[in-house]
Structure 1
Amino acid sequence: MPNPVVSELVQRSNRLGADPRNTNYAGGNTSAKGTETDPVTGQPVELVWVKGSGGDLGTLTETGLAVLRLDRLRSLVDVYPGVDREDEMVAAFDFCLFGKGGAAPSIDTAMHGLVEAAHVDHLHPDSGIALATAAGGEALTRECFGDRVVWVPWRRPGFQLGLDIAAIKDKNPQAIGCILGGHGITAWGATSAEAEANSLEVIRTAERFLAERGTPEPFGAVVPGFEPLPEAERRRKAAALAPVIRGLASTDKPQVGHFTDSDVVLEFLSREKLQPLAALGTSCPDHFLRTKVRPMVVDLPASAPVEDVVARLRELHEEYRAEYAAYYSRHATPDSPAMRGADPAIVLVPGVGMFSFGANKQTARVAGEFYVNAINVMRGAEAVSTYAPIDESEKFRIEYWALEEAKLQRMPTPEPLATRVALVTGAASGIGKAIAHRLAAEGACVVVADLDPQKAIDAAAEIGGTDVAVGVTADVSDAEAVAAAFREACLAFGGVDLVVNNAGLSISKPLLETTERDWDLQHDVMAKGSFLVSREAARIMIEQGMGGDVVYISSKNSLFAGPNNIAYGATKADQAHQVRLLAAELGPHQIRVNGINPDGVVRGSGIFAGGWGASRAAVYGVKEEELGEFYAQRTLLKREVLPDHVADAVFALTGGDLTRTTGLHVPVDSGVAAAFLR
């Protein structure tokens, strides 16, 4: 039977974590103390359940809790070697686990175990951190809360902070919680409901205090020329800048991007305090571990031409990298982990918005969300005082903490296509859909491009949420529609690395029955469409400077001369030669161009279901439902080709094992001798 203490804890955590005013994503932790029967002794034993390392309160389940014996955890006080060696206590938590112990205990476990309260919440609300980072925060805390909430001076999270909070609670029995200088809040209660109510009282009281006592323009006046651009112009400019910024942010290692142009961001970027506040960096450890200590800020007005912004971005990036290296050198010790990378995680462009980066889309999005939290914190602190984050040296101690490094080392090995952004045309059905699913399964972010917008959206939703796949409209025969699809890709993920030219249609007629309209339609979609898609992809890939892959789904018909197939066969031959031409031209940019020549893919194919199957069956004198088997029997392997087999070939070409291969056509036809490459 579930322990009611645990059930209440999970429910409380989910409620608190569901409201971004209470805490940021994956930020903070909650706990509850109670008893269970020790299966060895049969006697009741006091336990503490606390959110484990790396979990998120809003989505927490029981499996995300660490479970420790309270007596053993509190006995660690007797062997605590002092603040200089407090990191050793994290390993000691493992000796306090009850049974298998659940999730890995976090650095904040001591706070929850040592505070004499049955239920404890440690949260990172913007309002609480605003007071925690305001100059004179201790006095402001007294003014805001009286003696119900107590100030705790900044201390890095760990065992000593747990001792500090426990001592302050003991000395202040009237208090319901505390403001942790530079960091966040902690509240407690005798029951789960009381702890939750106290947490919300701290957060909401701080919100009201900042609103009622604060100045109306905490970021200063609007700077002329730095106002937000109109939405359509703003997003077009963002899409143009995104690949350049992503390429710069990926200098040390590839990154996925995210774009934010919310009102909160645009207002901050338009104000006179933008540069000085941004230079101070974020304060809460949860913030700067994801946003780096400070963002890179463009110092040009919103009206600046794209080419001027690009030139300035390159200059600022060099300066940022040099400054970050200097920051590392100032604070690194012989025991510090190696510098992890000097590129920015947050790039701010006035009038346009914020670009954030990470190892995957979720990480990039969350980094942006954390910087929005930081903007809110700076606004609150500036409203009642001045923003005064923790010292740079303290930020370094946390960013390059041995415990943080150990957490990073425990991260799972990335999938083969991790950090890569793929755009697949004709991806709402058939071969394209199979390719999109396979690329996403191998770690890529996928843009499902299709002529039918709703089918594109639905196909993307089948793959996963918008952190994994998005659907966009793409008429590949129209240059502006192609450019618009790529702009959506850049806004969604920062750029494009892998493009699959799959969109197509088939018209099966004898020469004398093939109309000019048939010919033009066939060539517009596949020959012209592939050209337009490849041209736009190449432009973006060259701007990124990260190389890339372009794959053409051609056909064995590019080589095989079958009957009643003049328009389709000719356009497939056009595509096949595009592969060779573009491989030669784009090689200096490390863009590889390859093709795949499938045999007729009947099952699961949108083309065959749309009439092509009936036409080809009539040509060969077989029933339409027997066409796949007919194709298989004329091959050397006597095996039917399915969409997944083509997707396998796309992955083989792009998954990292064929890094020196370009200009190649891979047959996926079960062996059609007449289509052998010569």
Structure 2
Amino acid sequence: MTIEFKHVSYLWDEAQAATMAGDEVALLIYRSNLLGADLRLTNYGGGNTSCKAMAPDPLTGVPTEVMWVKGSGGDLGTLKRSGLAALYTDRLRSLQQIYKGISMEDEMVELFNHCIYDLHSKAPSIDTPLHGFLPFKHIDHLHPDAAIAIAAAKDGRKITEELFGGSIGWVDWQRPGFDLGLQLQQCLADNPGIRGIMLGSHGLFTWGDTAYESYINTLEVVERCAEYLQQHTGRSKPVFGGQKMKAMPREERLAKAALLAPVLRGYCSSHTRMIGHFTDDEKVLEFINSNDLDRLAPLGTSCPDHFLRTKISPLVLKDTTDLAPQFEAYRAMYTEYYNTCKHANSPAMRDPNPVVILIPGMGMFTFAKDKQTARVASEFYINAINVMRGAEAISSYTALPRQEAFNIEYWLLEEAKLQRMPRPRALSGRIALVTGSAGGIGKAIARKFAAEGAVVVISDNDAGRLDTAKAAFAKEFGRDVSAGEVLDVTDPATIEKTFNLAALAFGGIDIIVNCAGLSISKPIEEHTAQDWDLLYDVLVKGQFLVTQAAVDVMRKQGFGGDVLNIVSKNALVSGPNNAGYGSAKAAQLHLSRLNAAELGKDNIRVNVVNPDAVISDSHIWSGAWAEGRAKAYGITVEELPAYYAKRTLLNQVILPEDIANACYAFVGGLLDKSTGNVLNVDGGVAMAFVR
């Protein structure tokens, strides 16, 4: 059976669900993943679902009702059994006997632990009683934009009653917790037979006696809300009061956004180093170019999930040439908000910089501790735009009162959750661009940096090899850790394109690794002028051009950076058949010293790693270079690895990962006061000792 919906996706597969018949928890996971797969139903990390079923008591073996509910944190779209909390339903409900009112609200969360059925399950979330105090076997609590638009409308309660004919209940805004669970329980008692409850400014509760009934009920309610909004949008008044201005042509706005991103990142990183995200989504442009922007943007969001990720309100930049006063005004506004709303036991004020920055005509930037958080903040603000759009179409939009918003943002339980977060890794908040990183040394460096918390821009002049590397990085690290672009270090146009990608994807650049290279080994009589020019263009000019572009970005950000140049033992050691390559490597080494001397005033460190004979996964060693070096030493290509190892003091084969570790040593935090240095990673070649 296929059911048609216009505004939500029906994804239920009867054959797949039939394989889980009788396993209510499996069906809960299945339903949750389907709901989480449609962002029109709920946003990333938002909402929660539950089921109640009989299970044997582990001590007595007597069947008892257990509730499985999405635990604290996590995401419905990727939810697994390990992400569920399992509680004795009767014990959870018995907590009502000791509840003494709102003043005891936070204390009740500790008592959830006395209700745990599965000792290995996820910690229960604050929404646990909202599911436990309702009698239904399967329950969905979601944050659909269409439903929140009605919930956040000035006449939301009246609209809900009229739209659903009394079949959907209403509970006014209240912070999630034990007491809100009691409010839902009372709403059902006062309105027996309802199919769901709208939470003012917050979201939607729906349910069913089976997983499928709950799923269909949820889809039907959200579909009806969305259809109602569509029927009214633009009918009595233009959307957002009509357009005040037009967006720049797309190519122009992307180019300007790329230039602006590092400057914004610098301002937003005055407290903590941030990663950025840019979007010029049509919904964003419609909002930021509208007549109602100035009225609606300062109101902030309504749904707590939106608010926690986007802050009290966005910064609207009317002028991109004089940024300092606008950021100062925002920080002053946030400080006043904190001081006005804080309680005696409130946590200390957090970073006063904006998360969301709206630029009319251009688009929206979001900045956060990592790329995923910045991207999700962007998605949540688009959710908020959808909510404002819908609420304004049917009534007028109402945001959370500032005190209520503060009580969510600085909730002691939210603070405790933040304190439990793992410590950031050494390169968290850092953006690295590695040239020649689709294989060999460059790929190993990019992988090391990503593993240590950085976001990385991988680049290569071989498009096919780059596509393979991009896929490998996405599989290993996820969608938010890397981006890739074809880069020819001798071509200023591709350099500009790659740096623009870094700016739009992440906000700027902190670390540049000049690793792109090639090698030619020939006797002097066979060396051509073309060979010479190619070596110097790629190795020396390429290093200069990429560094020059990086310095421009780093200066805009204002907090320094790192330039790492992968040179070679050959910069220091003379050998046969190596005039072009060896002299170009020497030029790279001295250019590094010159740059270190010049850029120290900008707190930009320039250091060198000198590898030798890194053969694994290397383009250089797969062709004529290996043949040339073997010929020079009178051995076969196959004998090269052992030959190079035996000539070192440590008798070691050098791997790409060894070079990556050396690079990490320079940028990982322990050598922040080091510049102009050379680190040999060659197994010990006495002739290459820096004297």
TM-score normalised by the chain length of structure 1: 0.97
Cα distance in 1, alignment partners of residues 224 and 596 from structure 2: 63
Q: Which amino acid aligns with 2:682?
A: D
Task: Find the partner of 1:83 among 99, 102, 105.
Answer: 102
User: Are 2:556 and 1:535 equivalent residues in the alignment?
Assistant: no
Cα distance in 2, alignment partners of residues 288 and 584 from structure 1: 46
Residue by residue, what CA displacement relative to the aligned partner does 1:186-238 show, whole Å, maximum 9, x if unpaired?
11222222222221222111111111133342301211xx3121221111111
Gaps of 5+ in 1: 301-308
Cα distance in 2, alignment partners of residues 547 and 612 from structure 1: 37
| Map of 1:196 onto structure 2 | 215
- Alpha-carbon offset, residue 101 of structure 1: 4.8
Cα distance in 2, alignment partners of residues 558 and 213 from structure 1: 71
| Range 598-607 or range 91-100, more displaced | 598-607
The alignment partner of 1:178 has SS state of: strand
Q: Which amino acid aligns with 2:63?
A: P
The alignment partner of 1:26 has SS state of: coil
Task: Find the partner of 2:343 among 321, 333, 339.
Answer: 333
| Range 199-208 or range 23-32, more displaced | 199-208
Q: Is the 8 A contact 2:85 2:118 kept in 1?
A: no
Q: Is the 8 A contact 1:448 1:457 kept in 2?
A: no
| Map of 1:587 onto structure 2 | 600
The alignment partner of 1:207 has SS state of: helix
- Alpha-carbon offset, residue 645 of structure 1: 0.7
Residue by residue, what CA displacement relative to the aligned partner does 1:373-430 show, whole Å, maximum 9, x if unpaired?
0000000000011111110100000000000001111111211111111100001111
| Map of 1:306 onto structure 2 | none
- Alpha-carbon offset, residue 512 of structure 1: 2.4
| Map of 2:241 onto structure 1 | 220
Task: Find the partner of 1:40 among 42, 59, 65.
Answer: 59
- Alpha-carbon offset, residue 333 of structure 1: 1.6
| Range 657-666 or range 602-611, more displaced | 602-611
The alignment partner of 1:455 has SS state of: helix
Cα distance in 1, alignment partners of residues 158 and 322 from structure 2: 43
| Map of 2:688 onto structure 1 | 675
Superposition map of 1:489-500 within 5 A: 489-500=502-513
Task: Find the partner of 1:387 among 397, 405, 418.
Answer: 397
Q: Which amino acid aligns with 2:228?
A: F
Task: Find the partner of 1:129 among 142, 148, 156.
Answer: 148
Task: Find the partner of 2:40 among 9, 18, 21.
Answer: 21
User: Are 2:441 and 1:431 equivalent residues in the alignment?
Assistant: yes
Residue by residue, what CA displacement relative to the aligned partner does 1:260-284 show, whole Å, maximum 9, x if unpaired?
1111111111111112111100111
Cα distance in 1, alignment partners of residues 433 and 98 from structure 2: 57
Cα distance in 2, alignment partners of residues 33 and 556 from structure 1: 67
Cα distance in 2, alignment partners of residues 534 and 379 from structure 1: 45
Cα distance in 2, alignment partners of residues 133 and 431 from structure 1: 54
Superposition map of 1:200-599 within 5 A: 200-216=219-235, 217-223=238-244, 226-300=245-319, 309=320, 311-464=321-474, 465-599=478-612
| Map of 1:304 onto structure 2 | none
Superposition map of 1:93-132 within 5 A: 93-132=112-151
Q: Which amino acid aligns with 1:541?
A: M
- Alpha-carbon offset, residue 650 of structure 1: 0.5
Cα distance in 2, alignment partners of residues 603 and 345 from structure 1: 43
| Map of 1:640 onto structure 2 | 653
The alignment partner of 1:259 has SS state of: strand
The alignment partner of 2:239 has SS state of: coil
Cα distance in 1, alignment partners of residues 73 and 620 from structure 2: 46
C-alpha RMSD over aligned residues: 1.3
Cα distance in 1, alignment partners of residues 610 and 490 from structure 2: 22
Task: Find the partner of 2:71 among 29, 41, 52.
Answer: 52
Cα distance in 1, alignment partners of residues 540 and 163 from structure 2: 69
- Alpha-carbon offset, residue 627 of structure 1: 0.8
Cα distance in 1, alignment partners of residues 690 and 604 from structure 2: 23
The alignment partner of 2:661 has SS state of: helix
Cα distance in 1, alignment partners of residues 464 and 396 from structure 2: 49
| Map of 1:305 onto structure 2 | none
Q: Is the 8 A contact 2:509 2:554 kept in 1?
A: yes
| Map of 1:10 onto structure 2 | 29
Q: Is the 8 A contact 2:620 2:626 kept in 1?
A: yes
Cα distance in 1, alignment partners of residues 471 and 360 from structure 2: 33
Cα distance in 1, alignment partners of residues 652 and 40 from structure 2: 58
Gaps of 5+ in 2: 1-18
Aligned-residue identity in percent: 52
Equivalences, count: 667
Q: Which amino acid aligns with 1:117?
A: F
Q: Is the 8 A contact 1:427 1:503 kept in 2?
A: yes
User: Are 2:665 and 1:652 equivalent residues in the alignment?
Assistant: yes
Q: Is the 8 A contact 1:461 1:470 kept in 2?
A: no
Cα distance in 1, alignment partners of residues 472 and 602 from structure 2: 34
Cα distance in 1, alignment partners of residues 323 and 163 from structure 2: 42
